[in-house]
Amino acid sequence: MLIILCLVLIGIHALNIYLSGRLVYLGIAPRNVPELWHIYTAPFIHGSWGHLINNLIGLVIFSALCLMRSLRFWLTASIFIITVGGFLTWALARGTLHVGASGWVFGLWSLLILMGWFDRRFGSIAIAVLVVIFYGGMVFGVLPTNARISFESHLFGAIAGAVFASLFAKKSWAQ
C-alpha cells in the first residue's frame, strides 16, 4: 500500500517536471471557489524533489504507524485530514498556492500523538511517546518561519489530525 502511494507521488512529480511545473495549478488557491476541489489534488503536487522526499519520509513513517491499527483507520484518518486540513487552508491561508503532502503528514503526526492521550491504550501511548521523542521537533513546523513554506497547511493538518483523534477515540466503532 505504502509502496504504491510512494510510486504514485513520485510518478506525479516526474510528470509535473516533464510538464515544466504545469500541474502546480492543482494546489490550493485560498478562497477560490471553483478550485475548492484542489484540496484533494494539492497533497499529490510538490515543488521539488527535496519537498517530495521530505514529505515521503514522514508520510511513510506515520502512515505505517497508523496502519498498525488498521487500513480502515489510516484511510479514514487520511481522508479526514486531507479534507478538513485542506478546507481550513483554503478558507484561512495566505493568498498563494499551497502544494504538497505536508498537511497530511502533520495531520498523521498529531493524530498519533493525541491517540495516546484520547485512546489511553498501551500501544497508542507507546506510539505517541516514540513520535514525540523522534519527531517532537515538528511542532516548530506549524510556525511561520519561511514565506515559501505553507505553515498554514502544517498547522491546519495538525489541527485536523487532533480533531480526528478526539472523534475516533469517542466512537464505538473505534473499539
pLDDT for 147 equals 83
pTM, to two decimals: 0.94
Q: How far, rounded to the nearest angstrom, does the alpha carbon of residue 83 sit from its chain's CA centroid?
A: 10
Facing residues of 112 across strands?
none
Q: With 0-12 CB in 10 A as exposed, 13-18 as middle and 19+ as buried, what is 20?
A: exposed
Residues of the chain with pLDDT under 70: 172-175
pLDDT for 173 equals 45
What is the CATH class of 2-174?
mainly alpha
pLDDT for 172 equals 46
pLDDT for 146 equals 86
pLDDT for 174 equals 45
Q: Give me the residue spans of the domains in the chain.
A: 2-174
pLDDT for 1 equals 86
